[in-house]
Structures are given as C-alpha cells and as structure tokens.
Amino acid sequence: MKLLDKIKNIIIPKDTLGVVWLYTLGSVFWLAVAGIAAMNLRTYLTYPANSPSVGELYYSALTIHGWSGIFGFVQFAPAAIIAFAMYKSKLSVIHTKLMALYFWLGSIFLAIALAGSPDMGWYMYPPLAIESNSQFHAFLFYTTPALMGMAYLFLTLTFILQTASYITLIVDTYATKPPNEKLNIFAAYGVAFAIVIAITLPALAASTLWYTLHFFAGVPVNPLLWALLFWFYGHPVVYYVPFPLFGALYYYIPQFAGRPLYSEKWARWNIYLLSIGSMLIWVHHLQTWPLPIGLRIWVNLSTLILASGSGLTVLNLGLTILTSQKYNWKDPVGMGALIALVGFILAGVQALVLPENSINPIFHNTYYVVGHFHLMIWTLIVMGFVTVFLDMLKTTFAGFNFSEHASKWMRIGMIWWTAPFLGVGYTMSVAGYLGLLRRMIAYPTFFQPFNFIESFLAEIGIPGLLITLSIGIFDTLAYASKQTVFSQPPSPSSLTLIKAEEEVKKNG
Amino acid sequence: MDIKEHAEEIWFIIMLLLVATFFTWNVYYILTGKSFSLRYGLPCFSGLPPEAQEAVKYFESHPPPAGQYSEVVNGILVVNLTAVQYKWVPNVIIVNKSEPVVLIINSPQVVTGFYLRLPNGIINVNNVPGIPSYVYFVTPNQPGNYTWRDAEYAGYASSYMTGTLEVVQ
C-alpha cells in the first residue's frame, strides 16, 4: 500500500485502523486548539488586575479551551482508543463510512458553534449562556436569538453524531466478536465505556437542545434542573478518556512487566463498579447548590464506591509492576504507561477530599479543583493517549519498532512534559487552597507569584510533549520511507489464521 | 476453603464493606444530629439553626423599610443580600465582633457564588435565580475587614464583584 493510499484511508477510512487514525488525528487537532487557547489564558493570568474589557477576549479563549478540550478532544479520543482496542482484540469496525461521517460532520458542526466565539464558560450555566444584552453576550459574534439558537442546534447535532459513533462501535463489537470467546481486557474496557458514553452523552445533547428550543420555541429554562441534567453528562465525561485508557494500561503494563496481570478478576469486576458508579455521582459537583441533603449523602456513597474501584485499579497495576522481575521502562510505550499510572495516583490523591460533604466547600470553585483535574489530564489522559498513539504507530507499520536513539529521546520528552506539569498542578492546588478562585481575571496580588510559576512551568513543559510526538512520528516515517510498498498489518481474520496455524504446528 | 484461592474475591468484598461502613457512620451522624458537617456549604433554609430560622421568618414577615437591607432579630443580624451583574447590594455589611449573622442571598439574573474567607472558616455557596440561598455564621472575635467575592462566573466583570464585611468593636 502506498503512503498516499494510507492518507486517503485516514480521511475516508475503509478499515478499522483507518478509523483509529481519523479519530486520533482529529483528537490531536482539538487538543492542540485547547492547548493554544490555554497558553493565551496563562499569559493574561500573570497580570492580577485585568480590566473587564479584557474579559471578552479572555472568556472567549477560556470557552474555546473548554469546548475544544471537552467537546472535541475528550469526545473524539475515546472512539480512537476503543476502535484500537477492538483491533487489538481481533474485532473490526464494519461501518467505517458512517464513522467517517460522524467525525467530519461532528467536527464541522462544533467548529460552526465555536465560530460564534462563545464566552459563557464550558459548562454553559443558564441564564448566562442564553444571555445577550448590555451586560453580557453569551456569544461575541452570534448575538441575535436566531444565531444563538443555531449555535446550540449545531452543538446538539455534534453530540448526537458523537453518541451515534459510540453506538456504532458497540454494535460492531458484537457483530465481529467471535462466539464463545472473551474480549481481551483492553477491548472489554473500551466497549463497556462506549456504553457509558452512549448513555450519558445524550444528556448533553438534551441540555443544548433545551437551549435551542428556548430560542426557537420560547421554552423556559430552569437553571437548577438544567444544571442537574448537564452534570449527568458533565461528571462522567471526565472518565470518557481515562476508563478506556485503564483498559490500555491493563493491556500494556503486564506486557512490559513480563508477567500476567496481578488479578484479571479484579480488572473485570471493576468494569461494573466504574461504569455504574461513574453515572451515579454527578451531584457532587453541586455541593454548594441549594439541593436536598439526601442527594449529598447519596453522592458521598456513590463517589466512595467509584473511588474504591479506582483504588483497586492502582493496586492491581501497582502489584503487577512490583511483583515483576523487571519493568521495561526503556520502551517508550512502557514508559508512557508507567507515567500515566503514576500520574493517575498523584492526581487522584488530590481528589480524595473533594467529594466529602464537609470539606468540599473549602475547595469548590477554587484553583484546587483546577489543579486536580488538569493534572489528571496532563498525566493519565495525555500521557496515556501518547502511549496508545505510539503503539498505534508500531501496529500500523508491521515490523516497525522505535530505534534506541529515538526511544531515549521520547523517554526524555515524556519526563520533560510530566515533571513541570506536576509542578503546575500542585501549585494550582496550593493557590486554590489558599483562596485563588477559578475563572477570574483579577485576583489578590498575593497570588501573582503562583500564577507566574504556573505559566513559566507550563512553557517549559510543552516542548516535552512535542519532542515525544515528533520523534515518534519521524522515526516511523523514516522507517516507512525505506519501504517501497508497506506491508499491511495483519488483519483480525489473518491473525486468527496465524494463531490457528501456530496451534497446528505446536500440536501437530 | 483455601483462602489464597479466594483472595481476590475476599479483598473485593472487604473493600466494599469498608465503603459501606464509612457511609453508615456518615448517615448515623446525620440521623442522630451529632454532626452539622454534612450541611456545611449547603445554602438551604433547613440547614440554619432553629433560632436563625425564626429570625429569618420574622425578617421576611416584617421587611425593613426601602433602602435598608438588614435588621437585628433576637440578637441575630439578618441581611438581605442581592447579587446582580456586576455588584452586590449592599456591598458593605457592618457587624459587631462575635455576632451571629444570617445572609439571605438572592441572585435574580444569573447563577453567582458567595465566597468569604474568615479566620475561623470559609463560606462558599452558589446562588441560583429564583431560589434564595441562606447562610449562617458567627463573625470573627477581632475587628477587621474581610472581602467577599463572586466565586461563580457571572460575566465579564465577575472578578470585580466584591463586597466588604466590616467587623467593628
């Protein structure tokens, strides 16, 4: 297969790996948009007294950061990971054209909504998100009711298409699953959380549809009910990437530890805890809102159940590494998986206090929370995704492995990225504990050094990620350029055939 | 039964039992009224102490004259505070040291937050249009000025939505 054919197969994929790459590159694009907007924010935040006139630009960048991060990267990346997990489990994406349609239309519609320059914040609380008067415009460019309604309509369509992509992955998994055969752990996590996404993402579509109906049919919006509906999606969305990545860690870490997973049973039972638990705890985002105390008690229990599942993941993977002879961290995929796990522990520790009713108000709406979830993004999500990305490169070009020199620089790049961002995350959390509020463009001067440190460390860390990705890609392309015709990676059916042949040879 | 053979099941069950125990302990403390902590940060009328609830009822049935936002009822200062884009009305509250205070916060336009750091704790609640928020606290025992802020993004000038709690002798 020629390189040009491979590129065509990404734009309009014809096979599972094509779908994997389309969604991967799309996710990376949205991640880059989120990152560029974030650096814009970090620049403004080094000054403690930005005037309200700066607000229009700042909050536009903030919303673009949030939307492209959450509605773009976080909602496309799991499809890439899940499709890759399916490939690794000898399953196929059959509806490749549909998947391409969902991706391209979903991205274009999201871009149309973003073109209005939304500045109401990523979680779009009403009535602010439907306001356009002398005090505030929820979109800088879409100021008439018709344009605002159109933006929310396009967002709704994006979320419906994204939901459809996960339903397609679930259907294709069951259509191509060999009867009487267990899915491998990577695919099991992928499909389980495709189901979670397919259940919770419609709540977001319903939230923006509510706004659409407000503008086109005059339907009133109840702020409290809207917030409850939104967070039914808004909490599980934080697991959209991490949980399929848990499957990836269960798959890769034993390989690099040179031993089976410490407990396959724990990993499989955990799917139920994590998937059901993740959908029952959303009200813990509203602990300072006027809601009945019974709800608070309930989310305390459900959050603890989910936390126990997360703890069990750490225990299982940690014991796999600790009881191995030697963990192969020199392989960049092994190193990435290790960093993702350690990062999950370090970012998870910050979260332990947050769901507790009696502690949450100390941290709610402060940078403590921002530090926690961003650290989770920079380590588990970004490094975990990079881990899968590097394995995608190896898998796509059969017979390819990273050179020793490239591996060394990729390892350096990963640490170069992770270490400064650990500093950013923990500095944010300390500032939040001391009272720095999130989303503010003016703050007490006491916090200026904290913001300087965060912006400075972020600038230092970014090249690390770029080095890791670019070296990985160049090393792969250098290999690819030496091949006149690429050997196709074995397809799931040929893999089964090879396995069968091996069995025959082994057993005579 | 070989414990080693069933170690995975045993630990899984123990883990869930630990969660259940911790949760039961929480519920016990609420039901027996031994803890206020679960109401901390919850801006509901039902979370106010009984005497504060009485003061609020009296205040709401006997509202002060226009332009006056507060009144002392049975030793409790009741303040009617409103958050609009982009200011608090009133934006200065003068209180005595160690004085019990109830805030009735209305936010008629958009969702806002009330965030006040006092030496003896943090007050952090959200205010939703159409639903009054209620906050009870006792002022510090030393004179001083404390700034409260809008903790929820309410528009371009949210950062400048501040007010001052002035504690006098």
Helix (H, G, I), strand (E, B) or coil at A480: helix
User: What letter represents residue A476's amino acid?
Assistant: T
Residue B126 at interface with chain A, using a CB cutoff of 8 Å: yes
CB contact under 8 A, A287 and B41: yes
Q: Find the residue in B nearest to A364 (Cα).
A: B124
ipTM: 0.91
- Assign 3-class secondary structure to A144-211: CHHHHHHHHHHHHHHHHHHHHHHHHHHHHHHHHCCCCCCCCHHHHHHHHHHHHHHHHHHHHHHHHHHH
Which whole-number Å values give the CA distances from A109 to A329, B63, B116, in the listed order? 41, 51, 41
Residue B119 at interface with chain A, using a CB cutoff of 8 Å: no
Q: Chain A window 118-157: which residues touch B at a Cβ cutoff of 8 Å? A: 120-121, 125-128, 131, 135-136
Residue B27 at interface with chain A, using a CB cutoff of 8 Å: yes
The pLDDT of residue B40 is 75
Confidence class of residue B37 from pLDDT cuts 50, 70 and 90? low
Residue A289 at interface with chain B, using a CB cutoff of 8 Å: yes
Q: Which residue among A120, A288, A442 places its CB closest to the CB of B125?
A: A288
User: Is residue A253 a contact partner of residue A336, using CB atoms and an 8 Å limit?
Assistant: no
Low-confidence residues of chain A: pLDDT under 50: 493-498, 500-501, 504, 508
CB contact under 8 A, A289 and B126: yes
Q: Find the residue in A nearest to B118 (Cα).
A: A435
Residue B28 at interface with chain A, using a CB cutoff of 8 Å: no
Confidence class of residue B26 from pLDDT cuts 50, 70 and 90? confident
Residue A362 at interface with chain B, using a CB cutoff of 8 Å: yes
Residue B47 at interface with chain A, using a CB cutoff of 8 Å: yes
Chain B CB contacts of A442 below 8 Å? 159-160
The pLDDT of residue A87 is 96
CA distance A53 to B128: 26
Tokens of A416: 């170069």
The predicted-structure confidence for A171-201, as pLDDT tens digits, reads as follows: 999 999 998 888 999 999 999 999 999 999 9
Helix axis angle for A264-278 and A242-257, nearest 10°, is 170
Q: Which residue among A296, A435, A441 places its CB closest to the CB of B42?
A: A296
Question: Which residues are B121's β-sheet partners?
Answer: B118
Helix (H, G, I), strand (E, B) or coil at B162: strand
Q: Which single residue is written with the structure tokens 């006027």?
A: A290
CA distance A262 to A254: 8
Residue of B153, B158, B160, B162 to mutate, interface with A, max A Cβ within 10 Å:
B153
Which whole-number Å values give the CA distances from A119 to A203, A381, B155, in the listed order? 22, 25, 9
CB contact under 8 A, B43 and A443: no
Residue B109 at interface with chain A, using a CB cutoff of 8 Å: yes
User: Is residue A143 a contact partner of residue A132, using CB atoms and an 8 Å limit?
Assistant: yes
CA distance A116 to A151: 7
Residue of A122, A323, A357 to mutate, interface with B, max B Cβ within 10 Å:
A357
Tokens of B121: 């704790």
For residue B34, the distance in angstroms to the closest alpha carbon of chain A comes to: 13
Question: Which residues are B102's β-sheet partners?
Answer: B78, B136
Residue B67 at interface with chain A, using a CB cutoff of 8 Å: no
Q: Which residues contact A404 (CB under 8 A, 6 or more apart)?
A: none
Cα–Cα nearest to A289, from B131, B46, B23: B131
**Cβ density class A170-199: b for 16+ within 10 Å, e for less:** bebbeebbeeeeebbbbbbbbbbbbebbbb
Chain A CB contacts of B113 below 8 Å? 288, 365
Helix axis angle for A223-234 and A185-217, nearest 10°, is 160
CB contact under 8 A, B156 and A55: yes
Instruction: For residue A127, say if its preceding peptide bond is cis, omega within 30 degrees of 0.
Output: yes
Between A and B, how many CB-CB pairs are < 8 A? 149
Residue A445 at interface with chain B, using a CB cutoff of 8 Å: no
Q: Find the residue in A nearest to B40 (Cα).
A: A358
**Cβ density class A458-494: b for 16+ within 10 Å, e for less:** bebbbebbebbbebbeebbeebeeeeeebeebeebee
Cα–Cα nearest to A159, from A58, A67, A225: A67
CB contact under 8 A, A357 and B19: no
| End-to-end CA, chain A | 35
Burial class (CB in 10 A: 0-12, 13-18, 19+), B4: exposed
Chain A CB contacts of B125 below 8 Å? 288, 361
Q: Which single residue is written with the structure tokens 């300087």?
A: A452
Q: Which residues contact A135 (CB under 8 A, 6 or more apart)?
A: B85, B86, B109, B155
User: What letter represents residue A414's amino acid?
Assistant: M
Cα–Cα nearest to A156, from A122, A198, A205, A227: A205
Residue B17 at interface with chain A, using a CB cutoff of 8 Å: no
User: Is residue A471 a contact partner of residue A409, using CB atoms and an 8 Å limit?
Assistant: yes
The pLDDT of residue A320 is 96
Q: Find the residue in B nearest to A134 (Cα).
A: B85
Tokens of A176: 């191509």
For residue B92, the distance in angstroms to the closest alpha carbon of chain A comes to: 19
Helix (H, G, I), strand (E, B) or coil at A133: coil
